[in-house]
A and B are shown apart, each in its own frame.
Chain A
Amino acid sequence: MNNTFNTIIRKALVVILPVPLLMLIAYIAIDPFGQLYGNERVYRPLDSEDDVWLDINYSRESMENFQRYNPRDSFNTFILGSSITYVVSADELAKRIDGARPFHFWSPMQSIHSLMLELKYLESNGADLSHVLVVLAPNAFSLTEPEMSTVAILPPGINPDMTWPEYHWLYLKSFYNREMFKTYSVSKIMGRPVDGVSMVNDIKRPMQVLNPETMEMSLYYMDSLLRHDPVAYSDMIKNRIPHDRTIHELPSNSNADNIADIAEIANILQRSSDDYRVMIAPSWGKDVPHHDDLAVLRKYFGDHLYDFSRSLSWTADCDTLYIDRQHFRAPLATMMMDSVYGQPIF
């Protein structure tokens, strides 16, 4: 019996173990998402010349940056929000607040829940939340799945429901999904990325490694398209929104979870901050939060809430104020800050 058992176990190990073991070793050696070693990979700049362009996890980047630089700089001013805050400049905000030491803590596809978790993280890590600017997208209420892509997985430091092994397991699975692994391997062999169309390396669906040229046409490089092919830009951005649209009220999503999260955000801000402001950004698609959702925000934030989503004069100018349907450009960010904080004092 024992001999048979030992033989079976030995054979089973020879059959089953080599492949997952090799895959694990390869992942650890390559660290494709820059999640395993060295903060340098996490801090990899957006315009990296890396031959295979893999998007980084901005939530983790924000967390690592905060942990690294807060002891030195003692930040007291925070900008929080989703990818739309990419152009909300910490320097511009600093010009409007006396003694501000600003830090931009952002994570793409941010839901109300992940915003609450980030604020909790900052509070529990002793951040000085004297000044806080929260920028909400009109659809913030409907974003409920912050962990849907590798750029937006909340790291365990922020998300108490996730452990580091679970976090790395998600990346490991993402790397070895068929399309991802295939295009990554081919691009490594060829020395350049293969064609791909996806924005991010999604962990739930097979996606391909990004091609910088494709990326150039997407989110942050829309300017390039506007310069080189205004007609295509117009088709892609402008013509998707009906010209006669006035306001597009999004469906209500004031469920119990969202309301509890909003209440917790308001609690943290009232407890820790002398000066907090919450603004809802206008979108080119003229999307506005449902009036029920807006009522919830007003109830908890009161006069601290600035709703720009209905500022239709801003949404009329697509080319200079917007990148796409949701994402605005720096001049609009400055105009909103002027409206909330007044003109620069420095």
Chain B
Amino acid sequence: MLFNSAVFVLFFALVFVIYWRVLGNKFRYQNVFLLCASMLFYGWWDWRFLFLILFTIATTYSTAILAERSHARLWTTLNVVVNVTILFVFKYFNFFRENALAVLNSLGLYPDWFTIDVLLPVGISFYTFQAIGYSIDVYRGEIKAERNIVSFALFISFFPQLVAGPIENARSLLPQINSPRRLDQSEVVLGMRQALWGLIKKVLVADACAFRVDEAFADPQAVMSQSGFRLAYIVVLFSIQIYCDFSGYCDIARGSARCLGIRLMHNFNNPYFSRNVQEFWRRWNISLMRWFTNYIYIPMGGSRRSNIRTYANLMIVFALSGLWHGASWNFVIWGLYWGIIMVCYRLWRNITGRSKAKLSAELPGCYTPMMSVTLFFALIGWAIFRCSGVDQVVYVVSSITLPLAAAIAALVFATWLMQSLYNNGYRWVVRAVSTLIIAGILALFVINPIESLYNIFRIYAVAVFAIEWYYRNDEFTLQRMPSNRWLRYSLYWLAIFMILTNSYDDVQFIYFQF
């Protein structure tokens, strides 16, 4: 059941009515009902997946209670091992088997191993991580083990965030589940607006980009014969697609949860407007990075040990983050790539002695070039992410690096120039040039010489980012709307009309596969 399908709209409308109208004052019944709805939602893909999630719920629930009584380390380790094993079997077994087999074959050994031929359960990485996080929190004594099985099961399987996050923290979600919710009209309105914005991003932009990106990558041979400029354009489209797809999903998830009186955490905070790579990773998939920080990076020592140890920790965390995204070499390379970039960034910061605060204060007028440099690294990363196979990664990255590097060199020069101007008091010049650069890049994107001259989806894409920039200081986009009712309603109707006339196919969300 996809968020962008008519079935989900009907499903959610029904859930909303029963949840508030029939069970409005009895939050425990509401929880039971939400749990049933979540199971229906998840079983809609394949009812057999339910056994897996129920198993995860049962083991995590029971081991947490047992851990609280005695042998905490043993029970927690057991639960982590069980969950990681499930994840390994369903997601990674065949990948490791193929690679081990290749190594053994090269040594002249030909073992007759079996292949596990199963579908990857939707969202398994998200709810498994949520369950592991809960277990560790109980072990650390940060939360008490949940005794109410319904509340706990709902914490793991709450349908708005079940299949693609955000990976919620028990400290934030469980108290909300265990306390009465009040129907608040303004909260429902805000939730619906947020969901509408998510749908706009998904349907108008992400799906249109997906159509072109998938077409370009459909034939592996054809990819290897495309020019660098063309590939760079496709990678830009993919970067827009993955952002609008994933953040669109999260907006719909947060919006629908809000309508049900539950607040989910912020998972995206305008990552493409980041000024450095570290900031990028604080704004992209926030819940996943928080999970890795809390449960992998900090226990390994984080940045409190030596520099070398910090760099090693960073590499490990990003390599694991890459592997979390999928059982494929390009995801591992993608993780390692980001690890190297983060290490380089820290090295540069350590060598030049620039603190974060100093960095931010140093170039207040040069937001655009810094943002562009960060975007350059993100684009190279997305190129690796989208490719299939090491050969393709090498070809695509080497092809797009030159055109993108030329652009980045121009921007670095512009940065230097503008910094000089800024320091000499020509602040208005810096602002004007920055604006011109942004306008030029956007114009080049909309009036595209590579694809057809004009296509409405590129205007939608530019509009989406412009609107997000406008609302960047708000909790979410569209939080504020015109006070005139007719104008507001007209905008809603226009958005709904545009969504309906563009949703000719129910396109899967990218992160469902993880």
Contacts and interface: CB of A to CB of B under 8 A. Distances in A.
A171 B413 CA distance: 54
Contacts of A189: none
A205 interface: yes
B500 A176 contact: yes
B92 interface: no
Contact of B20 (A5, A20, A174, A176): A5
A18 B493 contact: yes
Interface string A3-14: 011011101101
Nearest to A16: B496
Most buried by B among A23, A174, A206: A206
A291 interface: no
Given A5-B24, A205-B211, A177 B501 contact: yes
Given A12-B192, A205-B211, A19 B185 contact: no
A8 B500 contact: no
A173 B6 CA distance: 11
Contact of B505 (A1, A2, A8, A204): A204
Contacts of B44: none
Interface in B460-496: 489, 492-493, 496
Contacts of A18: 493
Most buried by B among A174, A178, A181: A178
Contact of B489 (A2, A4, A15): A15
Interface string B277-298: 0000000000000000000000
Interface in A21-71: 23
B12 to A, nearest CB: 11
A177 B504 contact: yes
A4 B489 CA distance: 19
B483 to A, nearest CB: 15
B24 A1 contact: yes
Contact of B504 (A2, A5, A205): A205
A11 B189 CA distance: 9
- The main secondary structure of chain B at its interface with chain A is helix
Contacts of B17: 9
Nearest to A19: B496
Contacts of B489: 14-15
A15 B492 contact: yes
Contacts of A181: 501
A203 B503 CA distance: 11
Nearest to A20: B500
Interface residues of B, number: 24
Contacts of A206: 504
B186 to A, nearest CB: 10
Interface in B164-190: 183-185, 188-189
A239 to B, nearest CB: 22
A19 B505 contact: no
B501 A8 contact: no
A293 B496 CA distance: 48
Contacts of A4: 183-185
Contacts of B192: 12, 15
Nearest to B498: A178
Interface in B187-237: 188-189, 192, 211
A181 B505 CA distance: 15
A343 B489 CA distance: 72
A181 B504 CA distance: 11
Contacts of A203: 504
A7 B185 contact: yes
A14 B490 CA distance: 11
B185 A8 contact: yes
Given A5-B24, A12-B192, A19-B493, A174 B504 contact: yes
Given A4-B183, A8-B188, A178-B502, 14 more contacts: A1-B183, A5-B20, A5-B21, A12-B192, A14-B489, A15-B192, A16-B496, A173-B504, A177-B501, A178-B456, A178-B501, A203-B504, A204-B504, A206-B504
Q: When A and B form their complex, which 6 residue pairs have the shortest distance between CB atoms, in order from nearest? A: A177-B504, A19-B496, A15-B492, A178-B501, A19-B497, A176-B501
Interface of B: 17, 20-21, 24-25, 183-185, 188-189, 192, 211, 456, 489, 492-493, 496-497, 500-505
20 contacts: A1-B24, A1-B25, A2-B21, A4-B183, A4-B185, A8-B189, A12-B192, A15-B492, A16-B496, A18-B493, A19-B493, A19-B496, A23-B497, A174-B504, A176-B500, A176-B504, A178-B504, A204-B504, A204-B505, A205-B211
Interface of A: 1-2, 4-5, 7-9, 11-12, 14-16, 18-20, 23, 173-174, 176-178, 181, 203-206
